[in-house]
Amino acid sequence: MIVELVSVRAAAEGAAVLCAGLALWGLVEWRRGVARARLVLAGVVPDEPGGQEQLRAWWAAVARWRALVVRRRSWLCLPAAGALALLGGSPLPLLAGGVAVPLVARRLRAAERRKECEARAGAVVALCGAVSGELRAGWQPAQALSFAARQTGALGDEEAAVLAAARFGGDVPEVLRRAARQGGADGLAGLAACWQVAVDGGAGLAAGLDRLEAALRDHHEQRERLRAELAGAWATVTVLAVLPAAGLALGAALGADPFRVLLHTPAGLGCLVVGGALEAAGLWWAARIVRGGERA
């Protein structure tokens, strides 16, 4: 048992030292590169031969590193679990951290998809306004749609298909309906309907797009107001999630040594399992209630 405890502690200490070293090295390189870039761009330090190429290469490397960190944020659970394993002298936090990595990654991907949907919904509103403005300026519908689509990026993966249909006389409404199946692009179905009515019935496309933009903008503002009203509920969910960690920290500060009790005694292990299950169920239920309000 003592040998296992020593090996776990040594592994946790090694992981903590490695993570701290990598974080320190990355911070130093980041600050040095940013300072050098600012001086070069400000003209304080003369650019060396090939310095611009080196600067661009450095910025590209930093961008790739930041994208990798953003995509792999879930792996930060392992250093945190290693620190808990070091404090508690048990491999259980490391196992829990390994289990948490895919769960956290899934939640992060869902959050990124929601942000993309919200951004695309805003881009669709801007697209309707831009197309209407270009039509009133005297442009043809196909030209106005092509210009506005490139400016707003609201069509997503279907942009090439929509622009090709508009340029070469294809079925633009059908392609727009297909593009509306993307997350957050529901407003493109309204744009397709306005286009269809304008082509078949000769109605004014600009007037229809103005009404569509107003309706979409009103819907977007409604969602923003609802999100602001539910911010208090989300704050309550966050507090509920932090309370167990705060309790453990308070117990450790008072000298109760809660990690030893939870990780090295049968009663503590039972309380840890039951408490973790109840905490997860409570957070899931609270988040379900709040998200139900958002969907409504």
| Tens digits of residue pLDDT in 95-131 | 888 888 888 888 888 888 888 888 898 899 999 999 9
Residue 97's nearest CA partner among 72, 71, 74 is 74
Q: Please state the pTM of the whole predicted model.
A: 0.66
* Residue whose token pair is 């109840």: 278
Residue predicted with more confidence, 39 or 232: 232
Neighbouring residues of 177: CB distance < 8 A, sequence distance ≥ 6:
188, 189, 192
Q: Is the per-residue pLDDT at 43 higher than 60?
A: no
pLDDT of residue 6: 44
Give the span between the Cα atoms of 201 and 203, in whole angstroms: 5
Residue predicted with more confidence, 73 or 51: 73
Specify the 3-state DSSP secondary structure of 256.
Answer: coil
Residue predicted with more confidence, 56 or 5: 56
| Tens digits of residue pLDDT in 155-206 | 888 888 888 888 888 888 899 999 898 888 888 999 999 888 887 665 678 8
Mean pLDDT value across residues 258-264 = 84
Enumerate the H helices of the chain as residue ranges. Answer: 2-42, 51-71, 77-88, 92-136, 141-152, 159-167, 172-179, 187-201, 205-229, 231-253, 258-264, 266-295
Percentage, residues of the chain above pLDDT 70: 73
Q: Is the per-residue pLDDT at 271 higher than 50?
A: yes
Q: Contact at 8 Å (CB) between 155 and 184?
A: no
